[in-house]
Amino acid sequence: MTATSRYTGLIERYRDRLPVSGTTHVISPGEGNAPLARLENISRVPGREVDLYIKYEGLNPTGSFKDRGMTLAVTHAVEEGNRAIICASTGNTSATAVVYAARAGITAFVVIPEGSSIVCTLTGRGVKDPDTAIRPCDEGMLTVDAELGAVKATIL
Q: Are 109 and 128 in contact (CB under 8 A)?
A: yes
Cβ neighbours of residue 15 under 8 Å, at least 6 residues apart? Answer: 22
| pLDDT recorded at residue 43 | 61
Tell which residue, 93, 74, 98, has the closest CA to residue 24: 74
Return the pLDDT at 153: 76
**Between these two residues, 155 and 102, which has the higher pLDDT value?**
102
Mean of all residue pLDDT scores within the chain: 78
- Say yes or no to pLDDT of 130 above 70: no
Question: Is a pLDDT exceeding 50 seen at residue 94?
Answer: yes
pTM over 0.95: no
CB half-sphere exposure, 102, CA atoms < 13 A: 13
